[in-house]
Every structure is written in structure tokens, then in C-alpha cells.
A and B are shown apart, each in its own frame.
Chain A
């Protein structure tokens, strides 16, 4: 567990989430493992990012405080319904997306999508925040609850791009 992975956990707990939805991702593994054993947050594995947007929406419509975590290449699978469901129906929800394609990337195809994630989200008019390691872990923990509240007060999905490595 790195300090930044721990900061994500601290930030989500401070945000008062009650459902932790996730699609697998290497940088996310310790965070997923943590919530698997949580006694206060329901951990919900999903098979694909697209359905995650729908399940998160259903939970939010039902009064819950879900968060959905995925790698940023998974946003490619989710972008259609992110626009035509979550954004169009004003369904709030926080999507944490770990960046791939950086200096430690080992996959030679990944960057063809991940390099364009910020531009894709901007084109879809999806509110996006970035947390990089020029900020302290404590700052990450403080900003995640604010990102969640931003989603609630703007009645929109919010994506936070996490630079975990």
C-alpha cells in the first residue's frame, strides 16, 4: 500500500461512501482489497466499466453514495453511457480512474487510448479533476470528498483521474 493508495481510501471514507464498485486495475488492487474487507462499505465487483455506470446510477437514484473505480482505459468502454445516461439524466456519482500509459507503463497498446482520456472527457463535457503526486497524500484525502460533493451539487457524474504511479 503506497501513501497515495492509502490517501484514496481515507478520502473515500471521509466522503461517506456506502458502495464501492470496481472493475479490476493493477494500481487499484490494494484499494480494492481494502474495501473487500470493509464492514461499513459494500464492495461490488463488476465485469465491465459500462455496466458500472448503470449500477452506480441505480444506486444513486436509490439514495446511496456509490463510487466507481476503474483504470482510465476502461473509460473507453464507459464513455457512451457516461454521456447518454449519467450526464443526460443528471445522475451524480464519483468515478475514480487510475491513469495508465505513463513512464512505468508496460503495455505497448494502452497509451493509444489513455493519452487521449482528458481530451475525450472534455469533448463529452464530463467534469474531470486530476490528482497528481505534486500534491501530498493528505491533499488527495481532502479533495476526494470535495469531488463527491461537487458531483452532488452539480447533479452530474464527476471523474477524478488519479496518478497513482
Chain B
């Protein structure tokens, strides 16, 4: 399973929920699948997507939004690792933290990350997060059907293959425009009954 295949499954499972995407290939490939206002593409600030997701999930606790989905990479989570502890401590029940783990910094040349030796799912379980681990498309699809029914913070560890999808265009939008479009969508979606 590659990154794009995994993200397509997640988009299908959560077709009308906000999605916050990590920098680099994750954001570019997500935008290439579908450039949507409900996506917040974090173009730099590696590792911050999970923190933004924590804040957003808390803010939307009493709204019609059912899930805040964060798409992190393994290297990104490791770069802001205190975020895992903060999420476990505050336990925002609408947050779904997805880690797309290729055991490499794929956006910077494929250098190996710590996950070549460390198990992120075990670390998530150690901080008492409800954790799912998948490494195939059909397994992911089944797992997402279960996750949709749950109302608690979840850590979804998806093992993906190395490398990036070919011929994906750069994402060169002004970050202020990305945030404005996301915010306008959010206001509309959150206000719905």
C-alpha cells in the first residue's frame, strides 16, 4: 500500500470531515487526489499537524463535526513527539491521528526514521491511546468501518511502502488562502445540524 492509496481510503471513510495534512509529499499527494476546502495543508511546520488537530478537535467538541482527521508522517510525529503525550493527556474524543509510516523521510531523500527500529503503535499504546495497526488496503477499509463508529481519540498506524507518487505537482498556494478556504468551509460545516 502506498501513501495515495491509504489516503484515498481515508477520504472515502470521512467524505465530509476536516483533514489536516502534514507537510511535503503528504499534503501534495492529498491535494492531487482532491483539492478540497476541507483540507488544511500544513506546508512547512513539520510535525505541527497533530498539534493543530488537537486544538481543532477540542474547539469542535460541541459542533456537528464528528471527526478531525490528522494525516501525519512517521518522521513528522517524531519531530514533535511531545504532541503524542499531549493528545494522550487531553484525549480530544473527535481526533483521529493517522500516521502514514514508511519508515523514511520520503520528502527529503528517503533517509530512514527511527521507526526502522521503534514501533510507533506500541508507543501510542504506552500512553493509553486506542490504537489500530494496518498494513494492507482491505485491512484499512475494514478498520475504518470500525473507527467511524467510535467516539474517542484514536491512533491509526498505517504501514505504507517507501517513496512518493510520481508526477505530483508542487503545492504553491499562499498559506493564508489555504487557511481562509478551510476556515470558511469549517464555519459552514460546523453550523450544520
Chain A residues close to B by CB (< 8 Å): 19, 42, 44-48, 50-64, 66, 80-81, 84-85, 88-91, 155
Contact = CB atoms under 8 A, between A and B. Distances in A.
A54 B87 CA distance: 12
B180 to A, nearest CB: 7
Given A55-B86, A61-B183, A50 B55 contact: no
B59 A89 contact: no
B86 A46 contact: yes
9 contacts: A51-B80, A55-B55, A55-B58, A59-B55, A61-B55, A61-B59, A61-B179, A85-B48, A85-B175
Contacts of B82: 46-48, 51
A62 B59 contact: yes
Nearest to B191: A63
A57 B80 contact: no
A50 B45 CA distance: 10
Contacts of B80: 50-51, 54
B51 A59 contact: no
A54 B182 contact: no
B190 A51 contact: no
Contacts of B186: 61-62
Contacts of B89: 45
B58 A58 contact: yes
Given A89-B175, A89-B178, A90-B176, A62 B55 contact: yes
Contacts of A52: 51
A28 B43 CA distance: 33
A88 B176 contact: yes
B55 A56 contact: yes
With most chain A CB atoms within 10 A of its CB, the pick from B60, B180, B187 is B60
B45 A66 contact: no
B56 interface: yes
A55 B85 CA distance: 13
9 shortest interchain CB distances as A-B pairs? A58-B55, A62-B59, A54-B51, A58-B56, A55-B55, A89-B179, A84-B44, A47-B82, A51-B51
A81 B175 contact: no
B52 A55 contact: yes
Interface in B157-193: 175-176, 178-180, 182-183, 186-187, 190
A48 B80 CA distance: 9
Given A90-B176, A90-B180, A91-B179, A54 B190 contact: no
Contacts of B44: 84-85, 88
Contacts of B51: 50-55, 57-58
Contacts of A58: 51-59
Contacts of A91: 179
Contacts of B40: 61
